Amino acid sequence: MPNRKLKIENPVLINIGKLADRENTEAYVVGGYVRDALLGKEAEEIDVMVVGDGTSFAEAVALEYGKKPEAVYRNFGTALVMIDGMKTEFASARKESYRKDSRNPEIETATLEEDLSRRDFTVNALAVSLNKKSFGKITDLFGGLKDLEARTLRTPLDPEKTFEDDPLRIMRALRFASRFGFNIDPDALKAMNKMAHRLSEGVVSQERITNEFLLILDTPKPSTGLSLMFLSGVMDHVFPEISGLEGVEQKQEYHHKDVFRHTLTVVDNIAAVTDDIWLRFAALVHDIAKPMTKKFVEGEGWTFHGHEEMGARMMNSLFRRMRLPMNKLPYVEKLVRMHLRPIPLAKEEVTDSAIRRLAADAGEDLEDLLKLCRADITSKNPKKVEKYLKNFGIVEKRVIEVAEKDKLRNFQSPVRGEEIMKICGLRPSRTVGMLKKRIEDAILDGLIPNEYEDALKYLYQIKDEVISVPSKD
């Protein structure tokens, strides 16, 4: 990259440069902003590094915009100012690592060179001057421009030292590799392998590791980051259940014959049709219990009976361990539990009743479940894939039609428990539940339409018979 200057048109950066001159301070735009600008992408945040006192300078900049910084961390020498809706972080040049949760936040002021050498990757260690006399000039001490061109992630110093300073950088390497399709320099990869265990030793908080993991899942082709995670040994420490899928052989009818490779393809397939990180997560874990349920059955080959149920049950402890948001747990459990349900509907003549039950059980997540099932077809044979997808398209259409027609999205009996109790003179009891279930079954089996009047009529028809059966409570 011959260009040693970055063209800066962002008015916020131009202003910061003018203020830096006025305050007699050296200021640089650094980190992701520079990297992304050189890659032709627009960054969402600005990082400004100041040789000197970053917090006082941030206050001066904020004042110029008629405000105060949103946050000042004097111990860290950093401050955040929102300028024209853009998150702008100011930091004093520093000698020690860029760990945000460092337990030892006392910072030592440093030169530009010292600061850049403490950063994670050469492509993130470029600084662009904002002062007038050198406006736009790129300082590249570690060959970051060359590495950007070669699309390589390399550490400015010895990789072991860089990862020792902050083991989260191992995850960051995987995230950048996945996001930009970059290679990881072999020495850095070796060091990642050697130091991966640091990620499971409590040095870095689980929340930060999980955050990086979800960012990998959020990239356009997550398999890039996930396979590198596996190859570097990081998966064994961060998500051993996924590593455990490698080498688990399965039948090849719909799927790739190795469960790990199959899973990666399913994740890429789903990533092509949705940005929803939880649907992507469900795709990643849908077969997680295959290793534990694998059994060889004569004449059938490898079977995995009950893996969907066992997988769903594994989610609770997994969510807790990985500090994933518990409000997403029911959704992921449901998709894992139901991921096989639509498949048989594509094969045989199916009744409306089976279709209605699927729609009612999936509820508002029906479309997501169908997307997951499509993504789950990873056979290597394009003719087979085409055939399965075509059959599945027919099912999909039918399921959605029936679900819409019968209003089965948030399905439950149109005659509610309260009313059943009033009509039948019952207290809250199992009998009320049985009556409700009979009404729901009648609707799902197509005996009566999903309408209040019909359900009420049906209740009068069956109530005496149901009530006469002695209840246990």
Give burial (CB, 10 Å; 0-12/13-18/19+) of 361: middle
Torsion of CA 133, 134, 135, 138, to 10 degrees: 180
Closest CB 50 distance from ligand CTP, rounded Å: 14
Query: Which one-letter DSSP state was computed for residue 448?
Result: S
Nearer to ligand CTP, 44 or 249 (CB): 44
Contacts of 393 (CB under 8 A, 6+ apart): none
- Ranked by CB distance to ligand CTP, the top (closest) residue is 32
Closest CB 449 distance from ligand CTP, rounded Å: 53
Nearer to ligand CTP, 146 or 387 (CB): 146
Among candidate residues 202, 192, 203, the one with its CA nearest the CA of residue 170 = 192
Closest CB 119 distance from ligand CTP, rounded Å: 4
Closest CB 99 distance from ligand CTP, rounded Å: 6
Closest CB 97 distance from ligand CTP, rounded Å: 7
**What residues form DSSP beta bridges with 71?**
80
Tokens of 316: 């609770």
Nearer to ligand CTP, 125 or 138 (CB): 125
Give yes or no for a contact between 160 and 191, defined as CB atoms under 8 angstroms apart: yes
Nearer to ligand CTP, 204 or 362 (CB): 204
Nearer to ligand CTP, 32 or 363 (CB): 32
Determine the longest span between alpha carbons in the chain, in angstroms. 93
- 3-state SS, residue 29: strand
Which positions touch ligand CTP (CB under 6 A)?
Answer: 31-32, 45, 47, 98-99, 119-120, 124-125, 166, 168-169, 172
Give burial (CB, 10 Å; 0-12/13-18/19+) of 19: middle
CA atoms within 13 A of residue 155's CA, in its CB half-sphere: 25
Nearer to ligand CTP, 213 or 392 (CB): 213
**What residues form DSSP beta bridges with 87?**
45, 82
**C-alpha distances out from residue 67 to 11, 58, 71, 82, Å:** 17, 11, 12, 9
Nearer to ligand CTP, 29 or 285 (CB): 29
Contacts of 143 (CB under 8 A, 6+ apart): 122, 154
Closest CB 45 distance from ligand CTP, rounded Å: 5
Residue 132 CB coordination number (10 Å): 11
Closest CB 35 distance from ligand CTP, rounded Å: 6
Nearer to ligand CTP, 32 or 417 (CB): 32
Closest CB 216 distance from ligand CTP, rounded Å: 12
